[in-house]
Amino acid sequence: MSYGRDLYNLMTSDTSLNVYFDGGIYFENLPDNFDLTKSWMVYSFRKSSQNNCLNAKNAYTTYQIEAKVVSPDTDTSETISDRLIEYLNGNYEGGIVDIWFTADTHTLDLEKGVYMNSLTFESFYVS
């Protein structure tokens, strides 16, 4: 398995998240001309560090996860963001052994009339 596959399984396997994100959950890019009346999540990840332990190379890798919630109103955006934090904090899948929330940033796209919240998480991955 890979980090990307484990994270995809984690992001898409929870039924309640799929209900909240009635537009869908996507990796890296939202579809062109996505429906502005629905709620969406787009996520990505990057390696932050690799850690060795005693004589073992790459004992674990730290990844940063970025998840952006896109919604037509602030209440929905906040509710979904809180649910996503609750779901991911302490969760695990495959080689992902821990995830924790670190920060968020709220923005508004006036042209499209959508609210966005970019959430940042850190995670440990053991391959």
Buried b (16+ CB within 10 A) or exposed e, 31-66: eeebeeeebbbbbebeeeeeeeeeeeeeebbebebe
Task: Give the distance, in angstroms, between the CA of residue 78 and the centroid of all CA atoms in the same chain.
Answer: 15
Return the C-alpha torsion angle 43, 60, 15, 100, nearest 10. Answer: -70
* Complete domains list, the chain, with CATH: 3-125 (3.30.2000.10)
How do 96-109 and 114-125 pair as beta strands? antiparallel
Q: pLDDT tens digit string along 34-91? A: 999 999 999 999 999 887 777 767 778 899 999 999 999 999 999 999 999 999 999 9
**pLDDT, tens only, 15-25:** 988 999 999 99
CA dist 4 to 31, 69, 86, 87, 125, Å? 19, 19, 21, 18, 11
Is the pTM higher than 0.85? The answer reads: yes
